[in-house]
């Protein structure tokens, strides 16, 4: 596709359920980032991938959060046993390389997660 | 620790005015800078990317500058329009870590 695609766009789930969020980056982009944005707040870094490797997982809030990337393309962010404080918009971004070197960062429209 | 500050946090101006948004950082060891806009309920849209060796970039009515010695970047918007209303964020990459400001919420009044 022409841009970063995230699915679903909206997800409502019951507390305690597991959810899986998907990100399809721009073709050829090796770097992929996941961020979380709570209502009215700034971006909270979760994790980034260089290829299929995740060198920095320091932003994951708890061990209920995990992410993987396969084939250097699609990434999934999984939240187990969801809690109400997990409610937020989850944003994915990709670029040709790490940082902004020679390549701007492109964002998807996000997945709005609501935990009831 | 690298920190990024965006001032003001919110700004409301009449249509047609020229305006400047500010972004300051504490560590001059930054590589590249990018300005984004975010519309309510949407993801972020890249506006301008300034690489480390550059001092400014222009796109239409937007001009962004980078002065690493003073630890500052500015986004200049000329002849503002109601459609410019959004939250504007700046971000730096420093050794491959992306450091984000909290954003400036801009409202352009018709």
Bond before A8 cis per omega within 30 degrees? yes
Interchain contact, B34 vs A93, CB within 8 Å: no
The Cα B64–Cα B55 span in angstroms is: 8
Q: What confidence tens digit (pLDDT) does each residue in B77-100 have?
A: 999 999 999 999 999 887 667 888
Which carries the bigger pLDDT value, residue A3 or residue A39?
Answer: A3
What DSSP string describes A96-111? SSSTTTTS--EE---E
Instruction: Note whether A109 contacts B: Cβ–Cβ < 8 A.
Output: yes
Residue A58 is classified by DSSP as T
- The mean pLDDT value for A84-98 works out to 91
Chain A residues with CB-CB distance to B34 below 8 A:
100, 104-105
Residue A99 has its nearest CB partner, among B36, B93, B103, at B93
- Which pLDDT belongs to residue B42? 82
| CB atoms B31 and A101 under 8 Å | yes
- At residue B26 the predicted structure's pLDDT band, cuts being 50, 70 and 90, is confident
A33 shares contact with chain B (CB less than 8 Å): yes
pLDDT (tens digit per residue) in B32-62:
889 999 998 788 999 999 888 889 999 999 9
| Chain A residues closer than 8 Å to B42 by CB | 109-110
Question: Between B68 and B2, whose confidence is greater?
Answer: B68
CB contact under 8 A, A104 and B42: no
pLDDT tops 80 at residue A100: no
């Amino acid at each position: 596709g022409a841009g970063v695609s995230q699915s679903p766009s909206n997800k409502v789930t019951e507390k305690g359920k597991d959810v899986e969020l998907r990100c399809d980056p721009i073709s050829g982009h090796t770097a992929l980032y996941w961020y979380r944005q709570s209502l009215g707040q700034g971006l909270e870094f979760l994790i980034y991938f260089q290829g299929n490797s995740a060198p920095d997982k320091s932003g994951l809030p708890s061990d209920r959060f995990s992410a993987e990337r396969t084939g250097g393309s699609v990434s999934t962010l999984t939240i187990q046993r969801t809690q109400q404080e997990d409610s937020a918009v989850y944003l994915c971004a990709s670029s040709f390389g790490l940082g902004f070197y020679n390549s701007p960062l492109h964002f998807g429209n996000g997945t709005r997660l609501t935990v009831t | 620790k690298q920190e990024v500050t965006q001032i003001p946090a919110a700004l409301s101006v009449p249509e047609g005015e020229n305006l400047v948004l500010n972004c300051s950082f504490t560590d001059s060891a930054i590589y590249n800078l990018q300005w984004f806009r975010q519309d309510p309920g949407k993801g972020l849209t890249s506006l301008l990317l300034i690489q480390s060796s550059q001092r400014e970039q222009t796109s239409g009515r937007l001009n962004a500058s980078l002065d690493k010695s003073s630890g500052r970047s500015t986004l200049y918007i000329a002849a503002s329009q109601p459609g410019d209303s959004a939250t504007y964020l700046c971000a730096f990459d420093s050794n491959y870590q992306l450091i984000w400001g909290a954003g400036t919420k801009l409202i352009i009044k018709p």
